[in-house]
Structure 1
Amino acid sequence: MSLLGGKVVLITGGARGQGRAHAIASAREGADVAVLDIASQVATVPYPMATPEDLTETVRQVEKHGRRAISIQADVRRQDELDEAVKTVLDEFGRIDSLVINHGIWGVGQELWNLSEEQWVDMQDINVTGVWKTAKAVVPHMIERGSGSVVITASTNGFEPGIYYGHYSTSKHGTVGLAKNLALELGRYGIRCNALAPGVIETPMIVNQVGMDLFNGGPGGTEESVQTAAAHYHALKGVRAIPAMNVADAGVWLNSDLAAGVTGVTVPVDAGHQLLAGYNHEPVS
């Protein structure tokens, strides 16, 4: 029996990476899927972002599982675009059972006091305010139906800081808090809200030269640099960079009836990272 049989799932940041994995996993478990992504470059993001072709590929992979899929290009910073996107999904599928708010950007290289205002604002506008705006667009429909599940992609950086990417870490702390408050306020309407906290996940967000150099500790990073560093980040035997599908499978569980009594929690998908004490990145004598 499929875990999401007959349901409709809307996924933001769905063009590639974890978003594509959420779309494929949802379709595999019987859901029809709408994927939304900006599918264009944001100036302050230091790595190549998704493209319209990536969105098309996600739809193709969903349809391989025999489920219906639509793609929508929209900017989560724009409430009007999100509201129109939700209207499109409802016109096509008639309802939204589950919302996976997965979009997000990452940046690295500056201490907090050296960030430009544009870097800070883009990060918070997309990673926090864009999450709130997405919920704002979808939740009224779920309240009207008296049911629904919201899953928000946070991060292990929602619990701990990160040197040289404090704007990202700050945004993910905000995302964890937003998920908890949504869960509290939506509970009275029969709607659940939970978050996922991925560790080092193998996606284009980190497997690019900027990310590879960070994991390498300097210029010249490679994909192997990410894998080697990830092995030190995780506690679980044999785990290096975690496949995006591992995160998506946890999302399927949260959206399914198997998690019917679960709300207001943040589920780590980090191969035991939180068991580790960590280390000083740059010790000063």
Structure 2
Amino acid sequence: MSSLLNKVVLVTGAGRGTGRVHCERFADEGADVVLLDHVDAAEDLKDTAQLVRDRGRRAVTGLADVTSLGEVAAAVDAGVVELGRLDVIVANAGIHTPGGPAWEISAQDWQHTMDVNLTGVWHTVRAAVPHLGPDGGSVVIISSTNGLRGTAGTAHYTASKHAVVGLARTLANELGPRNIRVNTVHPGAVATPMVRNAATYKRLRPDLDNPTEADAAEVLIARHVLPVPWVEPVDVANAVVFLASDHARYITGAQLVVDAGLTQKTT
């Protein structure tokens, strides 16, 4: 997608998982990247930056907790100064903590989830949008299939992912006159450690004492229209790159779902 050549992209949660793959894909398309992540992911962030540089593109890293507007603003400002511009914002950082019935979720887990998944997105947008130039740009917010439907046992996560859709729709209206597009991407199960771990396998297969990945995959396949247990991180990154590019130049306020048919399953 040549429209991204020499553009500058900001990605939060860039150290690992889908955030890392977003950075790789943007570099593949000729973009330079400002990579942000929490201090706990500092070493991972360095590795992601090297993957960008290995593709011949510039990479600037910043350590910032998205729950702190000051940290995010300082990191974004420094990245833009070094790379000279900003064209695309990818608000990717998010968490999924263990849940339960809504009335049993602790106040701390509820608040922390909102602080990262909702307020963290707002902080990212607030800090970065002023840097988008006169030619406009693109904001892509990573939500979830839980941002489109309810799922038992995930009230805190589901509420936060619904909330960013409302934020994105509002931003699309506010920023449209500046030729800035705002969209959300809604992954289902993705083949990252957030899904591929023993705790998730146990949640999916409570009937087994020590469920394996294959046991959990059976459940996930049954939930999908397409016969796969999950999508790959690159599938999500491809959707993000598309929305950031001129190929999506008239798409704004939209929700792009990447879920192997999870939200369309009728039986």
1:206 maps to 2:192: no
The equivalent of 1:281 in structure 2 is none
The equivalent of 2:78 in structure 1 is 88
* Aligned-partner Cα distance in 2 for 1:52–1:228: 35
Partner residue of 1:57 out of 39, 47, 60? 47
* Aligned-partner Cα distance in 2 for 1:192–1:146: 11
Q: Is the 8 A contact 2:61 2:79 kept in 1?
A: no
Per-residue deviation, 1:14:
0.7
Please identify, of 54-63 and 194-203, the stretch whose mean Cα deviation from structure 2 is larger. 54-63
Per-residue deviation, 1:229:
2.5
1:103 maps to 2:93: yes
Aligned residue-pair number:
266
Helix, strand or coil at the partner of 1:202: coil
The equivalent of 2:131 in structure 1 is 141
The equivalent of 2:162 in structure 1 is 173
* Aligned-partner Cα distance in 1 for 2:95–2:171: 22
What is the correspondence of 1:123-272 to structure 2 with a 5 Å cutoff? Answer: 123-142=113-132, 144-217=133-206, 220-236=210-226, 238-272=227-261
Per-residue deviation, 1:234:
1.6
Helix, strand or coil at the partner of 1:100: strand
* Aligned-partner Cα distance in 1 for 2:54–2:164: 32
Per-residue deviation, 1:80:
0.5
Per-residue deviation, 1:163:
1.4
The equivalent of 1:69 in structure 2 is 59
Q: Is the 8 A contact 1:3 1:252 kept in 2?
A: no
Helix, strand or coil at the partner of 2:46: helix
Per-residue deviation, 1:257:
0.6
Q: Is the 8 A contact 2:34 2:76 kept in 1?
A: no
1:117 maps to 2:104: no
| Equivalent position amino acid for 1:18 in 2 | T
Per-residue deviation, 1:66:
1.0
* Aligned-partner Cα distance in 2 for 1:211–1:18: 18
Please identify, of 242-251 and 200-209, the stretch whose mean Cα deviation from structure 2 is larger. 200-209
1:99-118 deviations in Å (ceiling 9; x for gaps): 10001000224211111111
The equivalent of 1:48 in structure 2 is none
* Aligned-partner Cα distance in 2 for 1:123–1:224: 29
The equivalent of 2:25 in structure 1 is 25
* Aligned-partner Cα distance in 2 for 1:178–1:89: 25
For structure 2, list consecutive stretches of 5 or more residues without a partner in the other structure: none
Matched-pair identity in %: 42
* Aligned-partner Cα distance in 2 for 1:4–1:170: 33
* Aligned-partner Cα distance in 1 for 2:221–2:70: 43
| Equivalent position amino acid for 1:105 in 2 | I
Q: Is the 8 A contact 1:12 1:103 kept in 2?
A: yes
1:137-178 deviations in Å (ceiling 9; x for gaps): 011122x53411000000000111111111101110101111
- CA distance 1:56–1:222, shift in 2 (3 Å): farther
TM-score, scaled to structure 1? 0.89
- CA distance 1:226–1:24, shift in 2 (3 Å): farther
For structure 1, list consecutive stretches of 5 or more residues without a partner in the other structure: 41-50, 279-285
Q: Is the 8 A contact 2:76 2:127 kept in 1?
A: yes
Helix, strand or coil at the partner of 2:5: coil
Helix, strand or coil at the partner of 2:96: coil
TM-score, scaled to structure 2? 0.95
Helix, strand or coil at the partner of 2:167: helix
